[in-house]
Amino acid sequence: MLAIENLTKSYNRGALALKDISFCIEPHTFTAILGPSGAGKTTLLRCILQLVKLDGGRVWFQGQDLTNCSAKDLRNSRTQIATVAQQFNLVRRRSALENCLGGRLQELPLWRCFLGVFPISLLNEAMAALERVQLLDVAFQRADRLSGGQQQRVAIARALTQRARLILADEPIASLDPETAHIVLGLLRSLCTQEGLTIVCNLHQVELAKQYSDRILGIQAGELVLDMPTHQLSSSDINRIYRS
């Protein structure tokens, strides 16, 4: 699904934020990325999406080299990658349903986007996605009137409407209470197990990473210091990620 090859990134020619990182992500898996604050987790997701310029290395997504492809191919690949961010990243004044439809705007003619006239099949798909995350009852409510947990679930429904194959989640539970955090991670886990999506999720909570992921990557000061199946993770491995 995803292959990262010797990825190196610095900001403003300063210290390296990511140093020679390589790993592969198998399809239909849930990978948790752990690491202290400032380790480079968000930068890694930005590099995968090509939102920042890499200093070196390659990012392969479903066989396509995103670091060396046309703008059109990059756009096409990005339609299959959805993001769920730490800060709820919905259009605040739009309804849950409209936010889901936003995941497919680029395939519609401009007039439909301007007038907000969507094909019935797409509306059905977006409603089904909201039903999947159990938010059908708030489909027509403005995003900024939803709770944090509901907003994250709308972001997941948007990813489903987008028909993404890969979800990159950057601390999706950072602003949520423990119970809601379980609901959101459980939902991501079930999309992986039941719908075959691939999840890569930055997390700060080791226990939750152990509970929900198949595999753990550990980043420390821009270096990949750990890459192993979750069930093999020991406390000394955790120490390796978080040692100062």
Q: Which residues of 91-115 are buried (b: 16+ CB within 10 A; e: fewer)?
A: eeebbbbbbbbbbbeeeeeeeeeee
By CB under 6 A, tell whether 205 contacts ligand ATP: no
Alpha-carbon gap, residue 141 to 52, rounded angstroms: 34
By CB under 5 A, tell whether 175 contacts Mg ion: no
Phi, psi of 107 (to 5 degrees): -95, 0
Question: Shortest distance, CB of residue 87 to ligand ATP, whole angstroms?
Answer: 11
Tell me how far CA of residue 66 lies from CA of 26, 75, 106, 209, in angstroms: 17, 10, 19, 28
Question: Shortest distance, CB of residue 134 to ligand ATP, whole angstroms?
Answer: 29
Give the residue, chosen from 13, 37, 63, 110, that forms a contact with ligand ATP under the rule CB under 6 A.
37
By CB under 5 A, tell whether 180 contacts Mg ion: no
String of DSSP letters for 199-219: EEEE-S-HHHHHHH-SEEEEE
Phi, psi of 52 (to 5 degrees): -130, 155
- Secondary structure of residue 225 in the 3-state scheme: strand
The interface partner of residue 10, options being Mg ion, ligand ATP, none and the CB cut-off 5 to 8 Å by kind, is none
Residue closest to Mg ion (Cβ): 42
Q: Which stretch binds ligand ATP (CB under 6 A): 40-48, 76-84, 87-95, 132-140?
A: 40-48
Give the residue, chosen from 32, 35, 181, 233, that forms a contact with ligand ATP under the rule CB under 6 A.
35
The interface partner of residue 239, options being ligand ATP, Mg ion, none and the CB cut-off 5 to 8 Å by kind, is none
Q: Which residue has the tokens 């977006």?
A: 126
Residues in binding contact with Mg ion, number by CB under 5 A: 2
Is the dihedral angle over the CA atoms 153, 102, 162, 41 positive or is it negative? negative
Instruction: Compare residues 42 and 211 and give the one whose CB is closer to Mg ion.
Output: 42
By CB under 6 A, tell whether 201 contacts ligand ATP: no
Q: Which stretch binds ligand ATP (CB under 6 A): 9-17, 21-29, 107-115, 179-187?
A: 9-17
By CB under 5 A, tell whether 42 contacts Mg ion: yes
Contact 226, 235 (CB under 8 A): no
Task: Determine the distance from the C-alpha atom of residue 160 to the mean position of all C-alpha atoms in its chain, rounded to a whole number.
Answer: 12
Give the residue, chosen from 8, 42, 80, 180, that forms a contact with ligand ATP under the rule CB under 6 A.
42
Instruction: Compare residues 41 and 104 and give the one whose CB is closer to Mg ion.
Output: 41
Residues that bind ligand ATP (CB under 6 A): 11-12, 17, 35, 37-43
